[in-house]
Amino acid sequence: MFTKILIANRGEIACRVITTARKMGIQTVAVYSEADRDARHVLLADEAVHIGPAASRESYLVADKIIAACKQTGAQAVHPGYGFLSENAAFAKRVEEEGIVFIGPKHHSIGAMGDKIESKKLAGKAGVNCIPGVNDAIDTPENAVEIAKGIGYPVMIKASAGGGGKGLRVAFNDKEAFEGFTSCRNEARNSFGDDRVFIEKFVEEPRHIEVQLIGDAHGNVLYLNERECSIQRRHQKVIEEAPSPFISDATRKAMGEQAVALARAVQYQSAGTVEFVVGKDQSFYFLEMNTRLQVEHPVTECITGLDLVELMIRVAAGEKLPLTQAEVQRNGWAIECRINAEDPFRNFLPSTGRLVRFAPPAQTMFQSNTADLLGVRVDTGVQDGGEIPMFYDSMIAKLIVHGKDRNDAIAKMREALNGFVIRGVSSNIPFQAALLAHPRFVKGDFNTGFIAEQYGKGFSAEDVPHDDPDFLVALAAFVRRKSRERTAGLTGQLPGYGVQVGKDYAVVTLGVGGKNLYTAVHVDEFVGERGSATVTVNGKSFAICSPSRLNDIAIVGTVNGQPFTAQVERGTPKNPLALQVQHNGTRIEVLVGSPRMAELHRLMPFKAPPDMSRFVLSPMPGLLVDVAVQPGQKVQAGERVAVIEAMKMENVLFAAADGVVGKVLAAKGESLTVDQPIIEFA
């Protein structure tokens, strides 16, 4: 067994590998860029080596620097994590040639599966179901149209070297096939330096279901059940679960056996995943093989009780797999939500900056520990007070739950999301909460088009209806009552001017449908020691009991005997006197005071926001990589004016109307904040 390994990655996955290595008594080496000098994975590792500037192409993607760090520290093996160099066959080969063990498949296996065209040919020879199509590169858009007609619409036009949703188009007619081929080829050339494009049948109502594999150097290959990954936004996975709520045991067995056959065909060693597209009739077809550990591997660890990172390390060290196919378990149900630093209410634009508060829900399951299951686990590479840099992926944590069945897992996930406190940057938690509450998700009735169908016009606060909005009002009044009780107990108050607690309150919910909502609330039977009260709202009674303190953001307790977790915070950017209440994805801002306060508040004049229509504003924090206009220049509506880059995502800004540029307020290369003015029109 190795005594020291280097993790050629950053963030959550680097922390994940370090945890298992520590359990196995193996020392770890972290590598870090300038942006990650104080990152969590650097603090967790036994040693850390600086490998360059913030940009990944100058640090995490430079094979020479990784290998030099191995030699400098005496690391005997490299774990590549996922992303970066994890599926780079040339890197794996180079590592092996340098006498260092690559904790992953052999370079020839990576190479065979890394090319989408060649991998499909290999899969067909191995007896794996393949989607009808033409697996040879297509030369012209006219040829693409003829092939598409022969296969039958709809078809999928894909770049051979594509990934992450880039270089992919769906065509339903000749015109779309012609245009889709051209744009797909251009995108592939620009993104991957490889413009080969092929066409295959587009499976309608498709599900994305993948099979987890593990193989060793002794010819043993096992399939560790499947994962359902159909909840995707723009081809990026959002929620994953294991097992799938859709396929039968017979389909599961057939998919698993075909995945194993493919792995054997390329002499696969280590962890890997075979992805299938599954039709509504449970017909399944090979999509691609990921020759690395997947982001969503924890859900498989939950239902099988196996530590996949440990198995990868042991296999790389030459050990045999410790179990047979018959011994692979499938216990309970696991769900993973990817927690991303993005604003769902601003079309999911990246959100970077300081994590003012980062407090995940209480964990009962932990990385590398497969003994304690049926609970909550958080995999993350960030910490309270840390910085979310603009240079890397937007995922900051993975929230994993394991339940006895699917409904139990959904309930656990909703409660865990309620208790996940993130402040300083926006997160997609409200969107995750809305998905988990959606009737079709609860029934398991969805496919890869689910998010596009249900949220095609974007995501707004109205897309997260609360089960009982009066509970949010009651909770705000309850917290205010506790605060008043404490204030009333302060010593030194002047006689006759002491704080009067009272039982009648008015809750003003701010900005509901463009106006304020006024609700009378009665708080009775308050017991401070126990933290309990009976709150009456709109004729409904809420018996609330919570031991949480006033400075706690996450509040736990019971309401009418049922447990709940919610977030209540004092002060909002708009109003320092307001309370912000958040539960099940719904967030409200309220003022809680006396009935007289509410009467006076109704008389307050409405302050209209400033008119910013003359400005082009930055929709997200990021780097201003281009300003395409100059003062005095005439601009037409729809004309490109600036480009902002953040988290591997480029956002082009266009003029909303015809006009003349008055001032350019930000310079190329400047770091922008959200809503910062870039251009002012005269």
Pair of tokens at residue 468: 């009982």
| CATH code of the domain covering residue 153 | 3.30.1490.20
For the segment 260-290, what is each residue's pLDDT rounded down to a tens digit?
999 999 999 999 999 999 998 899 999 999 9
Is residue 212 very low, low, confident or very high in pLDDT (cuts 50, 70, 90)? very high
Q: Is residue 610 part of a domain?
A: no
- Whether 191 has a pLDDT exceeding 80, the answer reads no
- Whether 192 has a pLDDT exceeding 80, the answer reads no
* DSSP track, 33-83: -GGGTT-HHHHHSSEEEE---SSGGGTTT-HHHHHHHHHHHT--EEE--SS
Look at the alpha carbons of 177, 179, 180, 182 in this order and tell me if their dihedral is positive or negative.
positive
- Whether 462 has a pLDDT exceeding 90, the answer reads no
The reported pLDDT for the residue numbered 676 is 94
At 157, give phi and psi (nearest 5°). -100, 120
- Whether 469 has a pLDDT exceeding 90, the answer reads yes
Is residue 511 very low, low, confident or very high in pLDDT (cuts 50, 70, 90)? confident
C-beta separation of 380 from 317 below 8 A: no
| CATH code of the domain covering residue 565 | 3.30.700.30
Nearest Cα neighbor of 485 from 545, 542, 526 is: 526
Is residue 87 very low, low, confident or very high in pLDDT (cuts 50, 70, 90)? very high
Q: Do 212 and 194 have their domain in common?
A: no
- Whether 184 has a pLDDT exceeding 60, the answer reads yes
Q: Is residue 373 part of a domain?
A: yes
For the segment 589-636, what is each residue's pLDDT rounded down to a tens digit?
999 999 999 999 999 887 777 888 899 999 988 899 999 999 999 999
The reported pLDDT for the residue numbered 324 is 97
Measure the CA–CA gap between 429 and 422, rounded to whole angstroms. Answer: 9
The mean pLDDT value for 486-505 works out to 84
Residues in the chain: 682
Is residue 163 very low, low, confident or very high in pLDDT (cuts 50, 70, 90)? low
The reported pLDDT for the residue numbered 161 is 76
Q: Do 338 and 293 have their domain in common?
A: yes
Measure the CA–CA gap between 131 and 114, rounded to whole angstroms. Answer: 18
Nearest Cα neighbor of 354 from 673, 74, 613, 648 is: 673
Measure the CA–CA gap between 543 and 584, rounded to whole angstroms. Answer: 19
Long-range contacts of 626-631 (CB under 8 A, 24+ apart): 626/668, 627/664, 627/666, 627/667, 627/668, 627/678, 627/679, 629/661, 629/664, 629/679, 630/661, 630/664, 631/661, 631/662, 631/663, 631/664
- Whether 203 has a pLDDT exceeding 60, the answer reads yes
Active site residue 142: no
- Whether 492 has a pLDDT exceeding 90, the answer reads no
Q: Do 580 and 620 have their domain in common?
A: no
For the segment 243-258, what is each residue's pLDDT rounded down to a tens digit?
999 999 999 999 999 9
Measure the CA–CA gap between 124 and 120, rounded to whole angstroms. Answer: 6
Measure the CA–CA gap between 275 and 210, rounded to whole angstroms. Answer: 4
Within 8 A by CB and 6+ apart from 570, the residues are 579, 580
Q: Do 387 and 256 have their domain in common?
A: yes
Counting the structural domains of the chain, the total is: 5
* DSSP track, 451-480: HHHHTTT---GGGS--S-HHHHHHHHHHHH
Q: Is residue 125 part of a domain?
A: no
Within 8 A by CB and 6+ apart from 246, the residues are 207, 209, 228, 278, 282, 444
Measure the CA–CA gap between 535 and 549, rounded to whole angstroms. Answer: 18
Question: What percent of the chain shows pLDDT beyond 70?
Answer: 99
Q: Is residue 237 part of a domain?
A: yes
- Whether 100 has a pLDDT exceeding 80, the answer reads yes
- Higher pLDDT pick, 168 / 228: 228
Q: Is residue 120 part of a domain?
A: no
The mean pLDDT value for 41-55 works out to 96
| CATH code of the domain covering residue 385 | 3.30.470.20
* SS3 (DSSP) at 124: helix
Q: Which segment, 187-196, 314-323, 644-653, 656-665, is predicted with the most confidence on average? A: 314-323
Q: Is residue 508 part of a domain?
A: yes
CB neighbours (10 Å) of residue 487?
Answer: 12
Is residue 137 very low, low, confident or very high in pLDDT (cuts 50, 70, 90)? confident
Q: Do 148 and 278 have their domain in common?
A: no
The reported pLDDT for the residue numbered 476 is 96
Q: Do 171 and 255 have their domain in common?
A: no
Q: Do 275 and 320 have their domain in common?
A: yes
Q: Which of 87, 187, 288, 336 is the catalytic position?
A: 288
10 exposure class (CB count in 10 Å sphere: 0-12, 13-18, 19+): buried
Q: Do 546 and 567 have their domain in common?
A: yes
Q: Do 236 and 322 have their domain in common?
A: yes
574 exposure class (CB count in 10 Å sphere: 0-12, 13-18, 19+): exposed
The reported pLDDT for the residue numbered 162 is 67
Q: Do 407 and 520 have their domain in common?
A: no
Q: Do 529 and 575 have their domain in common?
A: yes
- Whether 164 has a pLDDT exceeding 60, the answer reads no
Helices (H), 152-240: 174-192
Q: Do 476 and 448 have their domain in common?
A: no
The reported pLDDT for the residue numbered 571 is 85
The mean pLDDT value for 561-584 works out to 91
The mean pLDDT value for 180-186 works out to 88
The mean pLDDT value for 474-498 works out to 87
The reported pLDDT for the residue numbered 551 is 87
Q: Which amino acid is at 662?
A: G
Q: Is residue 15 part of a domain?
A: yes
- Residue that is last in its domain, among 602, 637, 662: 602
Q: Is residue 266 part of a domain?
A: yes
Of 84-88, 351-355, 403-407, 513-517, where does mean pLDDT reach its minimum? 513-517
Place of tokens 């520290």: 73
For the segment 346-399, what is each residue's pLDDT rounded down to a tens digit?
889 889 889 999 999 999 999 999 999 999 999 999 999 998 988 888 899 999
- Residue that is last in its domain, among 153, 168, 201: 201
Which residue segment(s) compose the domain that 664 sits in? Answer: 615-681
Of 37-51, 150-164, 453-467, where does mean pLDDT reach its minimum? 150-164
- Higher pLDDT pick, 272 / 120: 272
For the segment 514-534, what is each residue's pLDDT rounded down to a tens digit?
789 999 999 999 998 889 999
Long-range contacts of 52-57 (CB under 8 A, 24+ apart): 54/389, 54/391, 55/391, 56/84, 56/391, 56/392
- Residue that is last in its domain, among 152, 180, 201: 201
- Whether 417 has a pLDDT exceeding 90, the answer reads yes
The mean pLDDT value for 331-341 works out to 97
Of 239-248, 359-368, 428-437, 484-493, where does mean pLDDT reach its minimum? 484-493
- Higher pLDDT pick, 121 / 72: 72
Mean pLDDT score across all residues of the chain: 93
Task: Give the residues across from 290 on adjacent strands.
Answer: 273
The reported pLDDT for the residue numbered 165 is 62
